[in-house]
Amino acid sequence: MATIRDVAQRAGVSPATVSYVLNNSGPVRPETRERVLRAIAELGYHPHAGARQLKRRRSDTVGLILPTGERRLSDPFFLELIHALGDACADHQLDLLIATCRDPAADLRLIDRLYKGRRVDGFLLIDLQRRDPRIPHLQAAGIPFVAFGRIEGNGEFPWVDVDGEAGIREAVAYLVERGHRRIAYLSPPLSFTFAHHRLEGYRKGLAEAGLPLEEALIRIARPTMEAGYEAARALLVEGIPFTALIAATDLMALGAMRALHEAGRIPGQDVAVIGFDDIPMAAQTHPPLTTLRQPMDQIGQALIRTWLAAVRGETPPPTLIQPVLIRRESA
Amino acid sequence: MATIRDVAQRAGVSPATVSYVLNNSGPVRPETRERVLRAIAELGYHPHAGARQLKRRRSDTVGLILPTGERRLSDPFFLELIHALGDACADHQLDLLIATCRDPAADLRLIDRLYKGRRVDGFLLIDLQRRDPRIPHLQAAGIPFVAFGRIEGNGEFPWVDVDGEAGIREAVAYLVERGHRRIAYLSPPLSFTFAHHRLEGYRKGLAEAGLPLEEALIRIARPTMEAGYEAARALLVEGIPFTALIAATDLMALGAMRALHEAGRIPGQDVAVIGFDDIPMAAQTHPPLTTLRQPMDQIGQALIRTWLAAVRGETPPPTLIQPVLIRRESA
DNA sequence: TCCTGGAATTGAAACGTTTCAATCCCGGCG
DNA sequence: CGCCGGGATTGAAACGTTTCAATTCCAGGA
């Protein structure tokens, strides 16, 4: 494999000059640059990442911890997120390192190994819990990171999030405007921060419309299709009347629609349904799902931009991204 | 950040000894080892990945190229795959580097950059095409890789694949046994190798049952829910009679079920439906989908095992994994 | 008591960059 | 014609490991 010395020799210059060309640091005569570039192309030279990392003291790599096992993320939403992150990384010449972790205890050890070993320059945290042990750990260790999501009390750290509260409020307003008065709400456990915000949106939305908050209409269920199904079925079985239903994630909405179908109540006709996320499948359900889109590209870009700032040692401001109501036939 | 010298000093030994302890190479007195380990723990030392990479001439990192843009993989199946890969990597102390790539031309450049820069030791290829330009490129450059899937003619390279032919044949046999004679089949474009194999399974399955192959029952459509929907709808609109339908992916099956519902034909009752993949959602459709499960953990393990062998310079044999028919209510 | 040999330990040289400081080159000015 | 100054180039020292070869240590045999 060619090294910088090989390139230097071939171009008839010193390695230092090659380095200057490579990094656009230092003054190089245009003609020399030309020769160096030609040598690079001819040799098919690519700088050794490890050597660079060693010398520059950074790896230009973003760390992403993916929980597996029990906590595994099976929402297709995350595949979209990974895509968006990958794209945003590519735009900034960064690499994306995915590390998986079976149990929460190992999370922190993994973080240390990757960071102290300089394998990554900082982290992206996803699937945030309201009280997330990773946050204090990272803060204490002075490891740069950006969270996708917030924690209880909006601690002092860089984050990017989608405004779930505003989104759900908009959904409620939309339904109210269409004459709905009894709107059920499917919420994931409040240990997820996003669940908390979205529920808040539901509350405020009702309040703004002057509607009472009825506890029986609110169901807590895991953010999966199955749990959404069960929760909606429970509502139906218990005979709680409602003409519309908002689910905090599309997956839950899909489950709910299945329950409605089974009960002979046509979604979009007998019961309005609204989801959240706009996973690709949402456009293809029966009927197509009205939902709040999380603008993935924007999210990816914001996360990486913020991450870069954090790694540079700045304290970038949080970013709150507005979801977009996508009207389809389910509501 | 602590270095190996710090550890050495603290333990009262030379860096070489610390290295021996770290890697279990070279003889070390148990008592010395103890002292070194204590120093490591006290300092919270983690070896610098870049330095290691430089010296050992390998990075212990698996490269995975994720196409985005047009070719983006939005099948939730891939999220499962990423999880499985992450787990398998963790088992072998490997890291997983995800690189994204918008256009096919850039694929090859990306591969070169990552490999020649020793950022990764080799690649995992997914989303294989029947004639995949990446394969000859990697072979010519002598870059280790393992493909998840085959190409036309089963070229001479390491691969792991799920036996789509056997799977679909089993599905056909299963349906025939239940009295079905007119079985529609939804196939992705044959430029995907897996589509080719699965279609072959359909052909052979029919032949084994002594049923004629009717071209009108075979529909080619992109492996998305939307395309599955359209294809099934076309069948229905054209009035082609069929009592069962096999889709080459779950996503297509979901689309088909939607078309059936819309046409008033209840899946699992009026028409048997079988998918392929067993994405998490398959258990939650209406009705739950009978499908051929791709055993993800097995796949991840096989891929990484094979990858390791390939990186060591061996020429590991291909692995063909059997899918498992999961009976649910759709067929 | 000295020597031997194997086990344990160490010193130092690499791995391939980047970057500081030093040197070289050359046109223009005095 | 010599010198100056600034741009261009280079040499060499890191960065933090691993590993070869050399050295030290020590128990046991002669």
Tens digit of pLDDT for each residue in A31-68? 999 999 999 999 999 999 999 999 999 999 999 998 88
Q: What is the pLDDT of residue A102?
A: 84
d(CA B254, CA B190): 20
Integer distance in angstroms from CA B27 to C1' D30? Answer: 29
Tokens encoding A137: 């750990």
d(CA B65, CA B235): 36
d(CA B242, CA A34): 67
Q: What is the pLDDT of residue B299?
A: 98
**Which residues in chain A touch residue B280, judged by CB atoms under 8 angstroms apart?**
74, 224-225
- B98:A99 CB<8 A: no
d(CA A88, CA A139): 25
Q: What is the pLDDT of residue B189?
A: 96
Average pLDDT, chain B: 95
Residue whose C-alpha is closest to residue A262's, from A236, A241, A284, A242 = A236
Tokens encoding A324: 């977009």
Tokens encoding B76: 């939730």
- Which of A82, A273, A297 to mutate to test binding with chain B, by most B CBs within 10 Å of its CB? A82
Q: What is the pLDDT of residue A153?
A: 75
- Facing B82 at nearest CB: one of A98, A102, A254: A98
Interface of A with B in 31-70 (CB under 8 A): 44-54, 59, 61, 66, 68
Q: Is the shortest CB-to-strand distance from B93 to strand D under 7 Å?
A: no
pLDDT in tens, B248-277: 999 999 999 999 999 999 999 999 999 999
Integer distance in angstroms from CA A183 to C1' D29? Answer: 94
B78: contact with A, CB 8 A cutoff:
yes
Has residue A104 got a pLDDT over 90? no
- pLDDT-derived band at B72, boundaries 50, 70, 90: confident
Q: What is the pLDDT of residue B104?
A: 81
Comparing alpha-carbon positions, the chain A residue that sits nearest to B83 is A68
B48 nearest nucleotide via C1' and CA: D16
Q: What is the DSSP secondary structure assignment for residue A212, as one 8-state letter?
A: P
Q: Are B8 and B14 in contact (CB under 8 A)?
A: yes
Distance from CA of B131 to the nearest CA of A (A): 24
pTM of the model: 0.94
Which residue type occupies A319?
Answer: T
**Which residues in chain A touch residue B6, judged by CB atoms under 8 angstroms apart?**
none
A265-282 mean pLDDT: 96
CA B13 to chain CA centroid, Å, is 47
Looking up tokens 């096989």 gives: B302
d(CA A130, CA A164): 14
Integer distance in angstroms from CA A139 to C1' C27? Answer: 57
pLDDT in tens, B178-199: 999 999 999 999 999 999 999 9
**Which residues in chain B touch residue A113, judged by CB atoms under 8 angstroms apart?**
46
A167-175 mean pLDDT: 98
Has residue B78 got a pLDDT over 90? yes
Q: Is A300 helix (H, G, I), strand (E, B) or coil?
A: helix
Q: What is the pLDDT of residue A7?
A: 97
Distance from CA of B27 to the nearest CA of A (A): 25
**Which residues in chain B touch residue A254, judged by CB atoms under 8 angstroms apart?**
281, 284
Q: What is the pLDDT of residue A286?
A: 87
Integer distance in angstroms from CA A3 to C1' C7? Answer: 39
Has residue B154 got a pLDDT over 90? no
Distance from CA of B121 to the nearest CA of A (A): 12
Q: Are B220 and B252 in contact (CB under 8 A)?
A: no
For residue A42, give Cα distances in angstroms to A29, A47, A230, B118.
20, 14, 63, 19
- Facing B50 at nearest CB: one of A53, A89, A284: A53
A283: contact with B, CB 8 A cutoff:
yes
Q: Which residues contact A108 (CB under 8 A, 6 or more apart)?
A: A133, A134, A137
Among A106-110, A139-143, A188-192, B308-312, the minimum mean pLDDT is found in: A106-110
d(CA B63, CA B117): 12
Tokens encoding B329: 């209510």
Residue whose C-alpha is closest to residue B21's, from B12, B10, B32 = B32
**Which residues in chain A touch residue B260, judged by CB atoms under 8 angstroms apart?**
none
A303-317 mean pLDDT: 96
Has residue A267 got a pLDDT over 70? yes
Has residue B70 got a pLDDT over 90? no
- B82:A82 CB<8 A: yes
A97: contact with B, CB 8 A cutoff:
yes
Q: Which residues contact A137 (CB under 8 A, 6 or more apart)?
A: A108, A111
For residue A2, give Cα distances in angstroms to A7, A17, A44, A265, B117.
7, 16, 8, 68, 10
- Facing A44 at nearest CB: one of B45, B116, B280: B116
pLDDT above 90 covers a percentage of chain A that reads: 89
Q: Which residues touch strand C (CB under 7 A)?
A: A 1, 3-5, 15-16, 18-20, 22-23, 25-26, 45, 47-48, 51-52, 54-56; B 12-17, 20, 26-29, 32, 51, 54-55, 57
Q: What is the pLDDT of residue A154?
A: 65
Residue whose C-alpha is closest to residue A326's, from A271, A286, A280 = A280
Integer distance in angstroms from CA B140 to C1' D12? Answer: 38
A305-309 mean pLDDT: 98
Q: Is A289 helix (H, G, I), strand (E, B) or coil?
A: coil
| Phi, psi (rounded to 5 degrees) for B148 | -95, 95
Sheet strands side by side (includes B319-321)? A319-321, A159-162, A145-148, A122-125, A61-67, A95-101, B95-101, B61-67, B122-125, B145-148, B159-162, B319-321
Which residue is nearest to the C1' sugar atom of D9, using CA? A17
- A112:B46 CB<8 A: yes
Integer distance in angstroms from CA A253 to C1' D17? Answer: 53
Q: Are A182 and A242 in contact (CB under 8 A)?
A: yes
**Which residues in chain A touch residue B251, judged by CB atoms under 8 angstroms apart?**
281
- A90:B74 CB<8 A: no
Q: Is the shortest CB-to-strand distance from B58 to strand D under 7 Å?
A: no
